[in-house]
Structure 1
């Protein structure tokens, strides 16, 4: 490899390149072959951590276009489009999504896709396939499959491992099995089953370093204290509705309000009445902010049209008077949000 920057040792030059924002990396690659090799090397991303230039981005996948992901850079208010996920399942949905070890992981899920020409249902309700996106190489790669095909399940990243639990399997039967994935070894291992299974979709969040599994319509939460010791059942009395975690605190959208909830103590933070007609959106916390992304404006008795949304609204919950603001809308994705998570690069 020739010198990256004339007159500088490559180790020093790499630390200089590490300070360049991620969205400019494709342009840096055009400078020379040696710069392209450096930009696509794991050493650059290690250097980004060392110099404190790592960035937190949002990853979003919507119903339209099919199997397409975008990244949102909040510092520069811009969207970056990723290559299409190469799954053979059309309109993959009901999957789990997390990021760990600098990669984006899309796990399981399925599709109710119908062939528009024949009317045949050619989708698979639940798969065990796992994909990872590496921002270094900018490519999707298949990873070791889950032990159990599942959709509508809880999925969390914890201590650089991925935990999945519950959901529905291929025959649309609710399951209690849980498993853990080691991205470094590319291996899945079973962990203790959930105490209870319910005939409803479940989601997972990490609070206080513990995985919490919530089933739609239930106030009880199943908590994984330690990987080998199994789950405990708690009743926190949490309200039903979209949820976001900001600095380990739970925020819910319920009855047109954003409510901060700790066990049975509730505090109204801001109004969210403008979202009453919007369904299918994502709500996620990043930094001091809550993001409400995409969705559709549903039909009402006066208007039967369904309007797919690309809007992004942000609430800074740490502010003295939290107020909503709009940032740049998604440039490609729109409509119902199928997956949303953070990625640290």
Structure 2
């Protein structure tokens, strides 16, 4: 990585390259071998942080095509396609997904697909495999496996570490096991078990620096009060439905309405009646916005076709009057959203 820009020290030249938007990186690497080495170097990610040129993206994986991820650039209304995740599991689903340290992590999950010819299940329902995608190197890499295979579990980032809890084993039995991952050391360690299990999928959200685990169909919420203290059980009476966190506040879509969910109260924000007949979509917060991505529109009374959606609808919460708008639809992915996360590059 020498002689990047004539007349400039490499350290200064790298900071210049760090200001170039991420979507242009494939073109930058065509300039020369030294530029290609710089664009794919860990130093570039550090330089982007130093010059405050980091960018926020949404990462999305859907039913079709299998095991493919796309990044959405909200500043340029642009979709970027990533390489296919190299898992041996076809139709990988029921996994956890988070981002930390500038990398995307896909954890566990499996496949409940059935071979149409033999009727056999394609792969395992739950695995312990972990993959990370480095957007600077632009490649997937295997990481240390979780201690317990799991699917349909809660997965969050706390203080730069990944916490997973609950879910189902490969024999589809609900579990209470929880563990934490240090991405710098590439090591998993057990933490106290959940107090409750339930025969439904669970999910996790981080609010005010604490991880909250919710089981579908249960009003109770399990809150992680530190790795040593373990979990406490709270009955907040939260609404059931798709959730998103915006500026540290929780929003829930329920019965065609989006509510701002306080600890034990709720406030109506805006109508979302247009999503009543859509299922399997992702709902996620980014900046002052809530994104509703993809999903499926089921058969209607006189039309038995199932429509796989690639649409993206955005609700701006930060304005005085929250309003909906549409942005560019996904260019490759469509249908039920299997995973959705933020990623800062």
TM-score, structure 1 normalization: 0.99
Work out the CA distance in 2 between the residues paired with 1:170 and 1:4.
Answer: 51
The total of aligned residue pairs comes to 345
Give 2:72's aligned residue. Answer: 72
What's the counterpart of residue 200 of structure 1? 200
CA distance in structure 2 between the aligned counterparts of 1:171 and 1:278, rounded to whole angstroms: 30
Corresponding residue for 1:143?
143
1:25 aligns to 2:19 (yes or no) = no
Question: Secondary structure of the residue that 1:294 maps to in structure 2?
Answer: strand
Give the equivalent residue in structure 1 for 2:267.
Answer: 267
Q: How far does residue 118 in structure 1 lie from its aligned partner after superposition?
A: 2.7
Task: Tell whether 2:41 aligns with 1:44.
Answer: no
Q: Which residue of 2 aligns with 1:81?
A: 81
Name the counterpart of 1:234. Answer: 234
Q: Does 1:295 align with 2:289?
A: no
**Aligned equivalent of 2:8:** 8
The match for 2:341 is 341
State the shift of 1:116 in Å. Answer: 3.0
Per-residue Cα deviation, 1:37-80 (whole angstroms, up to 9, x for no partner): 00111111101001100001000000000000000000000000
Q: Secondary structure at the match of 1:267?
A: strand
How large is the Cα RMSD of the aligned pairs? 0.8
Alignment of 1:49-128 (within 5 A): 49-128=49-128
Alpha-carbon displacement from aligned partner over 1:260-300 (angstroms, at most 9, x marks no partner): 01022211111100001100000000100000000010113
What stretches of structure 2 of length at least 5 have no aligned partner?
A: none
**Which whole-Å deviations, capped at 9, do the CAs of 1:86-123 have from their partners, x for residues lacking one?**
10111000000000011000000011112233332222
Deviations 1:233-256 (A, max 9, x none): 011111011000001101000111
Give the match for residue 211 of structure 1: 211
Deviation (angstroms), 1:166? 0.2
Q: What is the distance in 2 between the residues matched to 1:100 and 1:205? A: 15
Q: Which runs of 5+ in 1 are unaligned?
A: none
Partner of 1:308: 308
